[in-house]
Amino acid sequence: MTGWRFDATRFVDEVLKPVQDGWRPDEDLFRVYLLPHDVTDQNTVETALTEVGRQFTKQQYRGFRRATEILRGQHKAASETLLDPARRGAHRSRVEQRQRKLAATMRLRLHDAPGLPPAEVAAQARTLKVPRSAILAALEENGVGERKPVDLPRLAEPGQWAEARGHLVQLRHDSLWDYLSGLGGLGTTERHLTARREKLRVARSSDSAAETTLLRLVQGWLERGDLADVLRHEVVSHLLDRAAHGYAEAVEAARAAADRLRALGIGTDPTAVAYAVWCDRQFTAAPAEPSWQEHYQQAVRDLRLRTALTILEQQPALPDEWSRRRAELEKRLSELDAELDRCRELERTDVEAAVAGYHRVREALADDRIDTALERCRPAAPPSAKAVVRDGRVVVTWAASGATAGRITYRVSRGDTVLGESAAGEVVDPDPPSGTPLTYAVHTLRDGNPSARAARTEPVTVLGEVLDLEVRGGSDSVSGRWRLPDGSIGALVTRHGATVRDTHSSTFVDHDVRPGETYDYRVRARYRLPDGSAALSDGVVRTASCQEVPVGVTDLVAEFDRDDLVARWTPPPRGDVELLELRAGDDPPAPEVVSVHQARRHGTPVQAVTLTGRGALRGRLSAHGKRQTIVPVTVLGELAAIGTPCVVDARQSSVTTLRLDRLGATVRLTWEWPRGTTAARVVWRESVKPAGPTDPQASSLDITKVGYDSRGVSISVPEGDYWFGVCTAQTVDGALSFGPLALRRESTTRTVRYSVKRAGFFSRRWALTVEDDEPPGVVVVAKSGVRPMDADDGEVLLRVDGGEAASREFEVPRHLRRPVHLRAFSLDERVVLVPLRPDHQIVRGA
């Protein structure tokens, strides 16, 4: 009994998850194998290694596949380390050293507190990239642990709390709790308040006003039933403030407030409350409530000095330091006011100087008066402005204004349209209306505040160019189209200076062109000016040429393969080839170049069914079982060249199961006729495949189905190597048409049987017997596991030359892995070797 037990939960939490998240298992092998650091019992280590090792391939840990793979990978090395006492010791000291370091880190984080809350433990584990348990161990090292803080009431600041605090300070009470203890404490009621109010009426002092207001606030809380919450909020925020100074302070404050805490139901154990408060301070960042000091600071930062002064004036009982500040602030404000008055005076004589003065004051004081004053002090307009037309756009320039104070820029507008603002002396009107006189206004801006007047330009007229001009070369003409710009009344088109006659307001066609030649066209927009005269824009130039002409396909071949049409052709140099199924009843179109549109009217395109390459297509026709004409069309841009059509006939499909049998001097051909066919052609050639049914080099024979059925087909050919082809034949419109050619080869071959057997019982030798009077040359080939496919596919065990003895022995070498497949091949092409018992040709044992 080693006492070691596998703990699945611990394995998941402390090993699998951390490893999956990137922890290196070799940093602590004790942890990985769930072993204590001080383990010494070899047995325990072995058990742990085996048991944990087995977990790595368990399917229930499928969510941690990466982790288990990593762990499996390091298992061998880990075993070596853990099983060797010396290496285990070294590893332990490394692990422990790391742990001591972690303990030190935790000590810093603790600030003498009695623990860390669970969320913080998890957060530390994340940031330090160690498992939770390591953090817990490090805490333990410091004599503390994970500790959940008690819940604190989380209360929002009560309404008018800041005001109440102010009054309490004036009344020299530390807290509301303190003040109320003079009334009814936590049990204060309306009656207590009324009594106190009565009292105040008879004995008025400087504090009475403050206290009456406070009583009114308390009454409000009482009526709403949240007086207790207000008190809870008060004590918790007090403790939080103290906790900011450290855990010790929090404990001291909590102890001092122990009664209050108990009475308010926050907690009976002041240290527990102190810990909770400390945790809250330390680990949750809550925005602190602004106090009047902060409001004051904020106002000063924003230069709202008048507001800052008001805040100070509103504070009852300002401490000395603050009274001094108030006096300083008052003095500063009166200086600034005097300066503002001086500037106002100056506005009448020197606006720029006044503005500069206002700007100076504004650096120290934010005040509406300054803004209004600045708006009053408008800058002078630029003395002059000028507009010129350049490339269809208008460039506006002007001379600088005399204004200097503030940021000076200029705004340029055309009528109601603002074109832009600029500090430089130029603005471009990118899209001015054409054919009408335009004037531009330039205003000076000081910090965005415009001059009262503007400088105006002399009128200019823009003659805009036509828009979206497109010039395209067709097959026999060049045409162009464009949009006229607003204000234009037409266009003038010239080609190399000469006017193109066939021109309309937004199109032209030029028929006087030669294919392949390039022409320049200039299109100018025409305008009628207000004075009645005509004007032309400079014009836009485009180049165009007549289109290149596509070349038709002349060698399309198509045939049926079951339901699919398979077509091939030589791809033309340019353009895409489409195959059209000619509309039934139409004559095939003449090969000529027409528009794509026209070409496609001849039929529907053949839909491809698989991926096809250039020059090939496998597709489906829309109708089946008919004779159809396929027209190849080369599409290039707008033009299409109609090629030489090809006729296919679904009935003209291939013959199947073509078979050749040599019977002496003749070869008998058998095949299956596709349904509906009545005639076929047989072609043959020596050594070469016939090129087609009409190959002039091949011999041929036409045969009808009736003839085939009664006599069969036998062809006399001398011994040798022949290719035979058979295709269906049909007379269409007086011409013979053929189906695809099925091809087979016939070499005068003969079949020779052979067998391979053990040479004798228990013999390690094997015997090859070839049953023939004139045995051919033979090789015996062996291969592990699979049948050899040809004489080169495996190890040659035996080679017998032609004409030698028909029976030979050989050995199957031991290095060939069993089972070994044996097979004999003939060295003579004309002889085929067939095994007598194929199943006897597998060597399983020795």
**717, 798 contact by CB (below 8 A):** no
Instruction: State in angstroms the smallest separation of the CB of 729 from another protein.
Output: 19
Does 838 bind another protein (CB under 8 A)? Our answer is yes
Map residues 620-659 to x or -, x wherever contact with another protein holds by CB under 8 A: ----------------------------------x-xxxx
Measured in degrees and rounded to the nearest 5, phi and psi for residue 770 equal -110, 125
Instruction: State in angstroms the smallest separation of the CB of 656 from another protein.
Output: 7
Does 42 bind another protein (CB under 8 A)? Our answer is no
Rounded to whole angstroms, the Cα distance separating 523 from 464 reads 12
Rounded to whole angstroms, the Cα distance separating 413 from 439 reads 9
Closest CA to 794 of 764, 823, 833, 837: 823
Residue 340, classed as helix, strand or coil, is helix
Does 612 bind another protein (CB under 8 A)? Our answer is yes
Per CB under 8 A, contacts with another protein among 555-594 are 561, 566, 568
Tokens of 765: 């030798």
Question: Residue 749 CB: number of other CB atoms within 10 A?
Answer: 14
Does 20 bind another protein (CB under 8 A)? Our answer is yes
Among the listed ranges 40-48, 355-363, 491-499, 781-789, the one in contact with another protein (CB under 8 A) is: 781-789
Tracing tokens 């109601």 back to the chain, one arrives at: 416
Among the listed ranges 10-18, 32-40, 437-445, 719-727, the one in contact with another protein (CB under 8 A) is: 10-18
Instruction: State in angstroms the smallest separation of the CB of 743 from another protein.
Output: 9
Q: Which residues touch 349 (CB under 8 Å, ≥6 apart)?
A: none
Among the listed ranges 144-152, 284-292, 503-511, 780-788, the one in contact with another protein (CB under 8 A) is: 780-788
Does 611 bind another protein (CB under 8 A)? Our answer is yes
Instruction: State in angstroms the smallest separation of the CB of 17 from another protein.
Output: 6
Strands (E) across 371-502 are located at 385-390, 393-398, 408-414, 417-422, 426-429, 437-438, 441-446, 449-450, 455-456, 460-461, 467-473, 478-483, 488-495, 498-499
Does 817 bind another protein (CB under 8 A)? Our answer is yes
Selected binder of another protein within 104, 616, 701, 736 (CB under 8 A): 616
Instruction: State in angstroms the smallest separation of the CB of 646 from another protein.
Output: 17
Selected binder of another protein within 228, 256, 529, 742 (CB under 8 A): 742
Selected binder of another protein within 783, 820, 822, 826 (CB under 8 A): 783
**221, 160 contact by CB (below 8 A):** no
Closest CA to 419 of 400, 402, 439, 435: 439
User: Residue 315 carries which side chain, given as an amino acid letter?
Assistant: Q
Selected binder of another protein within 184, 220, 615, 637 (CB under 8 A): 615
Measured between its terminal Cα atoms, the distance across the chain in Å is 50
Instruction: State in angstroms the smallest separation of the CB of 785 from another protein.
Output: 6
What one-character DSSP code corresponds to residue 844?
-
Selected binder of another protein within 348, 496, 815, 844 (CB under 8 A): 815
Does 846 bind another protein (CB under 8 A)? Our answer is no
Comparing CB distances to another protein, the nearer of 57 and 291 is: 57
Instruction: State in angstroms the smallest separation of the CB of 305 from another protein.
Output: 47
Instruction: State in angstroms the smallest separation of the CB of 145 from another protein.
Output: 18
Per CB under 8 A, contacts with another protein among 194-253 are none
For 680, 685, 713, the CA distances from 710, given in Å and listed in that order, are 15, 25, 9
Residue 266, classed as helix, strand or coil, is coil
Rounded to whole angstroms, the Cα distance separating 217 from 197 reads 13
- What region, left, alpha or beta, does residue 449 occupy, with left being phi > 0 and alpha being psi -120 to 50 degrees? beta
Comparing CB distances to another protein, the nearer of 59 and 334 is: 59
Map residues 52-81 to x or -, x wherever contact with another protein holds by CB under 8 A: --xx-xxxxxxxxxx---------------
Binding positions for another protein, rule: CB under 8 A: 12-13, 16-17, 20, 54-55, 57-66, 119, 122, 561, 566, 568, 610-613, 615-616, 618, 654, 656-659, 742, 783-787, 789, 793, 815, 817, 834-835, 838
